[in-house]
Amino acid sequence: MGKTTLSNIIANELGVGFKITSGPVLDKPGDLAGILTSLEPNDVLFIDEIHRLSPVVEEYLYSAMEDYRIDIMIDKGPSARSIQIDLNPFTLVGATTRSGLLTAPLRARFGINLHLEYYDPATLQKIIKRSAMLLKVPIEDEAAVEISRRSRGTPRIANSLLRRVR
């Protein structure tokens, strides 16, 4: 099961909404603020590649995670002022394949840290065969073995290779 799928299951089990974004997409604090303020109470927010958040966006995320609020700067210079915006409570799921690149302060703010293992070849072969069936593409066992060997333990890569060779 993938990171996004697991996060979606969490949202479904909680009976709440599910929003997805990616660290590199959140360039500015305003990008993050737009997503956070759109969350309904108890929604699950999934940030893929969370290790790629810019430092300034990561700083904004801290207060959102800890206090469910963010501070927004209005205007610049002498007329600048800060407005505090209360957020609905939410569950944040951050995913990364590069956990060593997470800053210690960000890692410390998560209540649970999990490590998901890569898929073994036999499981990947089952996934590949199921995907082939859904695509209505016949596949031999040997082909599923070869695709699984080249997929680096990841169903997304396996499915991409399957679509490429069909």
Separation of alpha carbons 166 and 160, rounded Å: 10
Q: Which of 4, 21, 37, 96 is catalytic?
A: 4
Q: Could you tell me the residue range of the domain that residue 102 belongs to?
A: 3-109
pLDDT given for residue 1 in this prediction: 60
Has 48 been annotated as catalytic? yes
Separation of alpha carbons 89 and 148, rounded Å: 40
Separation of alpha carbons 57 and 15, rounded Å: 28
Are 62 and 131 contained in the same domain?
no
pLDDT given for residue 158 in this prediction: 95
Domain count, the chain: 2
pLDDT given for residue 74 in this prediction: 85
Q: Which of 97, 98, 123, 130 is catalytic?
A: 97
Are 94 and 139 contained in the same domain?
no
Are 19 and 85 contained in the same domain?
yes
Q: Would 116 be classed as within a structural domain?
A: no
Dump pLDDT digits (tens) for 133-150: 999 999 999 999 999 999
Are 73 and 15 contained in the same domain?
yes
Has 3 been annotated as catalytic? yes
Q: Which of 3, 19, 52, 107 is catalytic?
A: 3
Are 73 and 41 contained in the same domain?
yes
Has 136 been annotated as catalytic? no
pLDDT given for residue 45 in this prediction: 98
CB 77 within 8 A of CB 28: no
Q: Would 135 be classed as within a structural domain?
A: yes
Separation of alpha carbons 56 and 54, rounded Å: 6
Are 60 and 82 contained in the same domain?
yes
CATH number assigned to the domain comprising residue 13? 3.40.50.300
* Nearest CA among 117, 127, 124, 116 for reference residue 149: 124
Are 105 and 50 contained in the same domain?
yes
Q: pLDDT band at 3, cuts 50/70/90?
A: confident
Q: Which of 28, 150, 152, 156 is catalytic?
A: 156
Q: Would 125 be classed as within a structural domain?
A: yes
Are 7 and 66 contained in the same domain?
yes
Dump pLDDT digits (tens) for 66-87: 999 999 888 888 888 988 999 9
pLDDT given for residue 109 in this prediction: 93
Please, what is the average pLDDT of the chain?
A: 93
Dump pLDDT digits (tens) for 94-116: 999 888 889 999 999 998 988 88
